[in-house]
């Protein structure tokens, strides 16, 4: 598992340093956007599940990194937002796209066009985080969820993640066929044989990722 979090309780990722961004060239801005997209895409597409433990300000590029993760868990004191419009800019690391997929186009437009922030409770209500807890409970909660995922077959997790990532893009029938193909292919794996044997023998499976 990969867990992304901030140090302490004040901030997950509070966004870019505006002093540094202020004087960059057009080519540097393109490179900055490319770097952010590459990072978020890596979190989104790597075979291992990625979890965000959001422990404070989660703004701008920080919010976009969290949106690239598979699962997001927030402290009750967390604050979310895409404030780029207040600087005469727009999100550049995938925020316009992933926000619309997770929260719906209307909510994405409200956040991006207004630059307003959300509380953790609001983020949960709009499907942007999977759970909210008190600050001192965040790390134990995320550790518990990561430990649960670690008990699963790594090969099945990777294929499930890939299929889920396709759900809101591309052709629906092709995505269904891809799911069916991946389901069938898993029957050739040692993990599937072990999982079914363990179920019938009423014991915990011992997956090897093969």
User: How are beta strands 79-81 and 117-119 bridged, if at all?
Assistant: antiparallel
Catalytic residue among 31, 84, 194, 204: 84
126 band by pLDDT with thresholds 50, 70 and 90: very high
100 and 180 assigned to the same domain: no
Is 182 among the domain residues? yes
Tell me which residue range forms the domain holding 106: 2-149
85 and 185 assigned to the same domain: no
Q: Give Cβ neighbours of residue 100 (< 8 Å, ≥ 6 apart).
A: 108
Is 208 among the domain residues? no
pLDDT > 80? residue 17: no
In this prediction, residue 76 carries a pLDDT of 96
39 and 91 assigned to the same domain: yes
Catalytic residue among 20, 64, 134, 194: 64
Q: How far is CA 47 from CA 1, 69, 186, in A?
A: 9, 12, 15
Average the pLDDT over 109-138 and give the result.
97
Distance CA 46, CA 188 (A): 22
Residue 24 DSSP SS3: coil
In this prediction, residue 62 carries a pLDDT of 94
What is the average pLDDT value for the chain, to the nearest integer?
94
Q: What is the pTM of this model?
A: 0.91
Distance CA 190, CA 184 (A): 13
In this prediction, residue 201 carries a pLDDT of 97
Residue 84 known to be catalytic: yes
78 and 182 assigned to the same domain: no
pLDDT digits (tens, 9 = 90+) for 143-191: 999 999 999 999 999 999 999 999 888 889 999 999 999 999 999 999 9
Is 6 among the domain residues? yes
User: How are beta strands 79-81 and 131-133 bridged, if at all?
Assistant: unpaired
Is 126 among the domain residues? yes
25 and 129 assigned to the same domain: yes
Q: Is 41 left (phi over 0), alpha (psi -120 to 50) or beta?
A: alpha
Task: Kindly report the CATH number assigned to the domain that includes residue 122.
Answer: 3.90.226.10
160 and 175 assigned to the same domain: yes
Q: Please give the tally of structural domains in the chain.
A: 2
Residue 201 known to be catalytic: no
When mean pLDDT is compared across 14-23, 94-103, 174-183, the lowest value belongs to 14-23
């Amino acid at each position: 598992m990969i867990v992304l979090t901030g140090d302490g309780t004040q901030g997950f990722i509070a966004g870019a340093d505006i002093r540094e961004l202020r004087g960059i060239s057009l080519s540097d801005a393109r490179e900055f956007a490319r770097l952010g997209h590459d990072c978020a895409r890596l979190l989104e597409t790597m075979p291992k599940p990625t979890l965000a433990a959001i422990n404070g300000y989660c703004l701008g590029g920080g919010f976009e990194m969290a949106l690239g993760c598979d699962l997001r868990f927030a402290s009750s004191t967390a604050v979310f937002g895409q404030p780029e419009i207040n600087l005469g800019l727009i999100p550049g690391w995938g925020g316009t796209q992933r926000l619309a997929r997770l929260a719906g186009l209307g909510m994405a437009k409200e956040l991006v066009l207004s630059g307003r922030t959300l509380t953790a409770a609001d983020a949960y209500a709009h499907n942007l985080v999977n759970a909210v807890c008190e600050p001192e409970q965040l790390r134990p909660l995320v550790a518990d969820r990561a430990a649960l995922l670690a008990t699963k077959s790594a090969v099945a997790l990777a294929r499930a993640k890939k299929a889920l990532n396709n759900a809101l893009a591309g052709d629906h029938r092709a995505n269904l066929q891809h799911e069916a193909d991946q389901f069938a292919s898993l029957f050739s794996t040692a993990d599937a044989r072990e999982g079914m044997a363990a179920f019938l023998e009423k014991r915990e499976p011992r997956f090897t990722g093969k």
